[in-house]
Amino acid sequence: MLADWTLPEGDDLLDRVERMVRPALLAGHFGKSFTRFVCGLQYHLGGAQDTQELARFADLSDADSVLDVCCFIGGPAVQLADSIGCHVTGIDLDAAAIAAASRIAELTGLAGLLDFEVADAGSLPFQDESFSVVWNQCSLDSNEHWLKEFDRILEPGGRFAFTFQRKGKNDQRWTLDQMISLLQNMGYDVTHAEDITERDIEIGWKALDSKLSEIESEFSSVLGDEWVKKAHQEFRNEIEKMENDEYGNARVLAARASSP
């Protein structure tokens, strides 16, 4: 399958990659959740807009070496390498997703700036102080061991750039305040922290519902009308959950102290 991929013509690189990978996504090669099918290249709420905003808050430059944790098929990594010129290493436990990300890097001409490998966020296969930025978009586990591993591989003066699902009414995820406290106790300066739940209702779940409506005929022809109906219902259910504070999303940026 990957060997048969060719990049379509067009001006916008992310759109071209999205069109190339959509048939494989619709075939379920990278998972079969409604969100995975419709999110496409960037499997997180807010898509390219969320990536662009997080990069701005993190003050990324072409001098940065970024570790993208839970990178899926590399959409954010491609966007960052193409728009900023930084080097991005993406890790994920899904070998099929990593193979796809590597193929995308090759086809986009960005292989010199992108590396992908199968790896566990709780046991990173990198030396101490290997990266200037640790990056994660909405797939952060509420696990202090992850943070300790991120701290280990981050160089002095490096940054964390996270969007994450924060605790709602009845779950065990961290609250935004708990995340801030954890990072401060590790010696980090939290430079930005905000709840983005309302934003992610609009540019996340509502945007996914609209995206599905715009290309509904394509999804219906491949997956059927009942699938489309259930996908719309799931997105609307998630909106209701966020509105009822069953869970929410937050964004945090933090900087590690430089060596004396």
Whether residue 230 has pLDDT greater than 90:
yes
Whether residue 1 has pLDDT greater than 90:
no
CATH number at residue 99: 3.40.50.150
Confidence of residue 6 (pLDDT cuts 50, 70, 90): very high
Task: Kindly state whether residue 35 falls inside one of the protein's structural domains.
Answer: yes
Confidence of residue 172 (pLDDT cuts 50, 70, 90): confident
Q: 82: number of CA atoms within 13 Å, CB side?
A: 21
State how many domains the chain has.
1
Whether residue 259 has pLDDT greater than 70:
no
Mean pLDDT of 88-113: 98
Report the C-alpha gap between 131 and 86 in whole angstroms.
11
pTM of the full structure: 0.95
Whether residue 197 has pLDDT greater than 60:
yes
Task: Kindly state whether residue 130 falls inside one of the protein's structural domains.
Answer: no
Which residue in this structure is represented by tokens 């959740």?
33
Task: Kindly state whether residue 216 falls inside one of the protein's structural domains.
Answer: yes
Quick one: pLDDT at residue 241?
95
Quick one: pLDDT at residue 101?
98
Mean pLDDT of 122-138: 97
Task: Kindly state whether residue 128 falls inside one of the protein's structural domains.
Answer: no
Report the C-alpha gap between 46 and 58 in whole angstroms.
17
Of 164, 191, 162, 163, the C-alpha closest to 256 is 191
Mean pLDDT of 181-210: 97
Task: Kindly state whether residue 132 falls inside one of the protein's structural domains.
Answer: no
Task: Kindly state whether residue 10 falls inside one of the protein's structural domains.
Answer: yes
Task: Kindly state whether residue 129 falls inside one of the protein's structural domains.
Answer: no
Task: Kindly state whether residue 127 falls inside one of the protein's structural domains.
Answer: no
Quick one: pLDDT at residue 171?
80
Strands 248-256 and 65-69: unpaired
Report the C-alpha gap between 234 and 41 in whole angstroms.
20
pLDDT digits (tens, 9 = 90+) for 21-77: 999 999 999 999 999 999 999 999 999 999 999 999 999 999 999 999 999 999 999
Amino acid found at 46:
G
Average pLDDT taken over every residue of the chain: 96
Q: Which domain holds residue 79?
A: 2-122+137-256
Whether residue 260 has pLDDT greater than 70:
no
